[in-house]
Amino acid sequence: MSVDATLSFEEAMEKYDPVLGFEVHVELNTKTKMFSSAPNVFGDEPNTNVNEVDLGMPGVLPVVNKTAVESSIKIGLALNCKIAEYCRFARKNYFYPDTPKNFQTSQYDEPIAYDGYLDIELEDGTVFRVEIERAHMEEDAGKLTHMGGSAGRIQGADYSLVDYNRSGVPLVEIVTKPIQGAGSRAPELAKAYVAAVREIVKNLGVSDAKMERGNVRCDANVSLRPHGQERFGIRSETKNVNSLRAVEHAVRYEIQRHAAVLDSGQPVIQETRHWHEDTRSTTSGRAKSDADDYRYFPEPDLVPVVASREWVEELRATLPEPPAERRKRLKEAWGYSDLEFRDVVNAGVMDSIEETIAAGASADVARKWWMGEIVGRAKVADVDPSALGVTPQVIVELNKLVEDGKINNKMATQVLDGVLAGEGTPAEIVEKRGLAVVSDDGPLLEAIDAALAAQPDVAEKIRSGKLQAIGAIVGGVMKATRGQADAGRVKELILEKLGVQA
Amino acid sequence: MTELKNELIRHSAADLAAKLAAREVSAVEVTQAHLDRIADVDGQINAFLHVNTEEALAVAAEVDAARAAGGAAAEELHALAGVPIAVKDLIVTIGQPTTAGSKILEGWHSPYDATVIKKLRAAKMPILGKTNLDEFAMGSSTEHSAYGPTRNPWDLDRIPGGSGGGSAAAVAAFEAPLALGTDTGGSIRQPGAVTGTVGVKPTYGAVSRYGAIAMASSLDQIGPVSRTVLDSALLQEVIGGHDPFDSTSLTDPFDNLAAAARVGNVAGMKIGIIKELHGEGYQAGVENRFNESLQLLKDAGAEIVEVSCPNLKYALGAYYLIMPSEASSNLAKFDGVRYGLRALPQDGPMTIERVMGATRAAGFGDEVKRRIILGTYALSAGYYDAYYGSAQKVRTLIQRDFDAAFSNADVLISPTAPTTAFKLGEKANDPLAMYLNDVATIPANMAGIPGLSLPGGLADEDGLPVGVQLLAPARQDARLYRVGAVLESILEEKWGGPLLAQAPELKTPALGAASNSAGGSN
């Protein structure tokens, strides 16, 4: 595949103004499918969670899943949308083997939720309002696996396997209005928007919201126009960008690619693009024009969905605390500074910290571990911090070992590495690695004597009340004990020895 | 054939039910008599695509065992338990093939039962087999079946109507006392009219469509086929009612139908003649029998009024946009990927798209392709509003016309079809002429209202059956059965017996005649 030319992001921004748009598909975690009674379960043996409806057998009829409608209304309300009192499903007709009826039952011009917005907080605290055009209900397609040929693509494949377990899984598709004015913050906004949607549906409890499982999938539309131009440029639609970081990278890449195309005097081709995580670039998919003809018409096998105002208000009353309000509450409860809290949010560890506190750690201890140790390791490993494999229980256990004086902080970080290496629980690792604080004062006192003797001027300073100088002696002791001493105890013993009150 | 068997097959379902309950006859005897009749005459008629001998007899034996056991087992039996029935091959059944009259489903067995089939099984009604139809119910003559045409028992050179010609002919030829049909634009009523039988399209939603292979979802309806009005009422009570698997099914109870058929009078009822549905374009013999029925109803104390439904003139045109539009989408699933026929392209690359194309080219007949192409075009961007959109508006206008008409009349009346049965092949190359045969039946589907066709006598010029159609407001199916049963009894009094008693005897081996090979066999 040929490599597309790109401009540097800075140069692209200098010349062009990006306009974004997102279609986020959210898989609902209902017990059964959108239109059938088959189980909605991820990861089972292929083609086991299907019945005649999901397979599009002759004679079958769909029946709307009421819980899915409720979940859709909840999502609409959380996105500040209006909820349609009356709306219908439509058939989107196209032949493709992942869609057993050769049409997808979706909503077309009558979405259940419309005209909403979401306020997105960027890393520096700037709030950017993204307008929501609609959120509509539809069914997922089956999963195709192309065998043979190159790189799992249908082109050139020998044959394809179909798993209809996903066929008919309820989806809510959230579509934004064109997002203008983001400028150079477009990639960051893209990531923050998808993160916010994911957070909302997870918070509502209507989706498992795991991007790696495809519970939340994002199609990112990007177009550029010269600064000052009103009319939108031609857009590309990058499909299935399935991690938050990928959303940011894909938008950035497409901006750079469009800029190069425009700079060369060529028109941008309206098409879908495939995102490749390995090369962090996109390749051309299929040409997509507004003239794609899906021959939509109202689904005659279903009656309209009627959402009475009473029902909508009942559902509104059940909505959990919105994530933004929750953040405000947690920040106050944890006593973090603005900067500390923003760092926590931006690092994506707020939920983890909340869970860690719930498991028994103090707010400061939880933050110290997540921000001080885990975020950095996640960055090195190139994964989300929550996906690194550190549970709240591990942190609580580590912290207890430190508080009980069994290990010191330095050893604790080694234990953490052991946990990540799969060596066992913190206690087991302490045992296995032979990490234990030297708690017998005898050897410590010897080391202290030696340290004080080696630095008599420092000892004098401490005696005269300059307590901050104690670090040099503690350092000497730690060095002598190869880090196995409890620094707190060493400090106490030095002061005792020198007869100074702390 | 023994005299006893000959008698058994000529009984109505209601009479058979009474004889079974009184243990005058066994369900196995009744079922076997019909299976024998099928074996004797279906080579000439070709009403059945599949005969379900073993299972039908097993169900009949269960009924007999329950009756013999007495007590609760006997008391729990449904009134129609042991009365056999034929099923249009558009309705899916476990244990028998379902073809929809198409090559594309040849050999396919459904993994599930239609809701109406579940109800027949619950009532322990032996299913005799699956009946022939125009492919995917698209046609008015049953000539469009991929398995050969069905022949009209009144004249083997003539069509039995369609699409449900198999069910109507089976009942008319005494191969079954009852049958199930489906009616999208007249596929139950028009075959009823041309075979001298009774056929009812219930209110849209009165009977679950789950398991009826869809042609046009907003128009399709399963309904009863029988030789008497009461029998259809009894059968609709078995198959009707709300179904959680069909969201368009109604929650209203329809349990007063047989009672309505037994009311026995129409005094004071207002019966509206639809100005637009008789006269010009209707065969003289059809018009004469129709007028005769009007006079008889008037004599019985009904008030005859004339009503106008001016928008009915657009019904056929609108129907031929809505029906193919929905059909083009409903039939998209037949692509050779998951079940049924799979044809491979003769040359060129083997892509999924080309396999789908080759399968549909080989599996569908001309009429089906015609409607898919028409519907695909009508739904296309840029044409949708002009075609599908306008047709839906016409539909609303037709519904309003009927609302207005029913404010002046309890039921409406018209001939069921403009002509008697035409000859096989006569309209095979003229789709428009074929479509015109449904001009009087289509409006009920467009409005969702119930319609019943019953025999109105024989046309003077050709001696073939004429159908009289009754229409009622949505959910008022009972009115059809009340008026239909009264008209039926007056007419039968006039004829000195059922109209089918005047049908020619079919040749049977017992009568010493060679089997007519026309139409082929299964």
Q: How far is B120 from chain A (nearest CA, A)?
A: 17
Q: What percent of chain A has pLDDT over 70?
A: 97
Q: What is the DSSP letter of A80?
A: T
From B92, B353, B376, residue closest to A58, measured CB to CB: B92
pLDDT for A485: 80
Distances (CA, A) of A458 to A449, A452, B99: 13, 8, 99
Closest residue to B247, CB basis, from A52, A297, A303: A303
How far apart (Å, rounded) are the C-alpha atoms in residues A276 and A282?
Answer: 6
Instruction: Give me A30's structure tokens.
Output: 């209902």
Model confidence at B495, in pLDDT bands (50, 70, 90)? Answer: very high
Cα separations (Å) of A38 from A66, A167, B208?
A: 14, 10, 20
Torsion angle of alpha carbons B327, B329, B334, B338, nearest 10°? Answer: -150
Q: Which amino acid is at A91?
A: R
Contact residues on chain A for B108, CB-CB shorter than 8 A:
58
Q: Are A476 and A455 in contact (CB under 8 A)?
A: yes
Q: What angle do CA A348, A354, A359 make, to 5 degrees?
A: 130
Going by pLDDT thresholds of 50, 70 and 90, the confidence category of residue A198 is very high
Give the per-residue pLDDT at A502: 64
Residue of B247, B251, B350 for testing the chain A interface, max A β-carbons within 10 Å: B247
- Kindly state the greatest CA–CA separation across chain A: 95
- Radius of gyration, alpha carbons of chain A: 29
Quick check: A152 pLDDT over 70? no
- Report whether A262 contacts A224 (CB < 8 A): yes
- Residue B411: CB atoms within 10 A of its CB come to 25
For residue A481, with 0-12 CB atoms within 10 Å meaning exposed, 13-18 middle and 19 or more buried, which class applies?
Answer: middle
A102/B335 Cβ within 8 A: yes
Cis peptide leading into residue B163 (ω within 30°): yes
C-alpha distances out from residue A405 to A52, A399, A419, A440, Å:
63, 10, 19, 12
Any catalytic annotation for residue B187? yes
pLDDT tens per residue, range A231-257 = 999 999 999 898 999 999 999 999 999
The pLDDT-based confidence of A336 (bands split at 50, 70, 90) is very high
The Cα A406–Cα A402 span in angstroms is 6
Domains of chain A by start residue, with CATH: 9-315 (no CATH), 323-433 (no CATH), 441-498 (1.10.10.410)
pLDDT, average across residues B399-405: 98
CB-CB under 8 Å, A101 with B332: yes
Work out the minimum CA distance from A56 to partner chain B, whole angstroms.
Answer: 7
Of A56, A95, A302, the CB nearest to B338: A56
A454 with A445: CB under 8 angstroms?
Answer: no
Give me the catalytic one of B19, B88, B201, B427.
Answer: B88
Show residues of chain A in contact with B333, CB under 8 Å. 56, 58, 100-102
CB atoms within 10 A of CB B251: 7
Q: Region A362-387: what's the mean pLDDT?
A: 90
**A-B Cβ pairs (cutoff 8 Å, strict):** 99
Q: Which residue has the higher pLDDT, A479 or B379?
A: B379
- Whether B384 sits inside 8 A of A295 (CB atoms) is yes
Instruction: Provide, as residue numbers in chain B, all residues whose Cβ is less than 8 Å from the Cβ of A297.
Output: 325-326, 329, 379, 384, 388
Residue A154 vs residues A92, A144, A219, A281: alpha-carbon distances, Å: 22, 9, 20, 20
**Percent of chain A whose pLDDT exceeds 90:** 64
Task: Give the domains, in start order, of chain B with CATH numbers.
Answer: 3-311+414-508 (3.90.1300.10), 317-396 (no CATH)
**pLDDT exceeds 70 at position A439:** no
ipTM attached to this prediction: 0.94
Q: What residue ranges in A28-110 does DSSP mark as E strands?
A: 82-83, 86-87, 90-93, 103-106
> What are the pLDDT digits (tens) for B144-202?
999 999 999 999 999 999 999 999 999 999 999 999 999 999 999 999 999 999 999 99
- Active site annotation includes B201: no
CA distance A157 to A150: 7
- Longest CA pairwise span in chain B (Å): 72
- What is the rounded distance in angstroms from the CA atom of residue A193 to the CA atom of residue A202? 14
* Rg of chain B taking only CA atoms, in angstroms: 22
Q: Say which residue the tokens 């005792």 belong to.
A: A496
Closest CA to B178 of B163, B193, B188: B188
Spatial CB neighbours of A153, under 8 Å, sequence gap ≥ 6? A146
Q: Which of A18, A46, A68 is nearest to A180 (CA)?
A: A18
Nearest-angstrom CA–CA distance, B152 and B190:
13
Q: pLDDT digit string (tens) for B19-74?
A: 999 999 999 999 999 999 999 999 999 999 999 999 999 999 999 999 999 999 99
Q: From the candidates B110, B187, B226, B328, give the one annotated as an active-site residue.
A: B187
Q: Residue with structure tokens 């249009």? A: B88
Cβ contacts of A63 on chain B, cutoff 8 Å:
244-247
Mean pLDDT is highest, among A290-299, A444-453, B352-361, for B352-361
Q: What does the pLDDT average to over A444-470? A: 85
Put simply, the answer to whether A301 touches B248 (Cβ < 8 Å) is: yes
The answer to whether B232 is a known catalytic residue is no
pLDDT in tens, A68-121: 999 999 999 999 999 999 999 999 999 999 999 999 999 999 999 999 999 998
Confidence of residue A288 (pLDDT cuts 50, 70, 90): low
- Per-residue pLDDT, B517: 42
pLDDT at A290: 58
Asked if A100 is an interface residue toward chain B (Cβ–Cβ < 8 A), one would say yes
Within 8 A by CB and 6+ apart from B456, the residues are: B289, B290, B292, B293, B415, B465, B466, B467, B468, B491
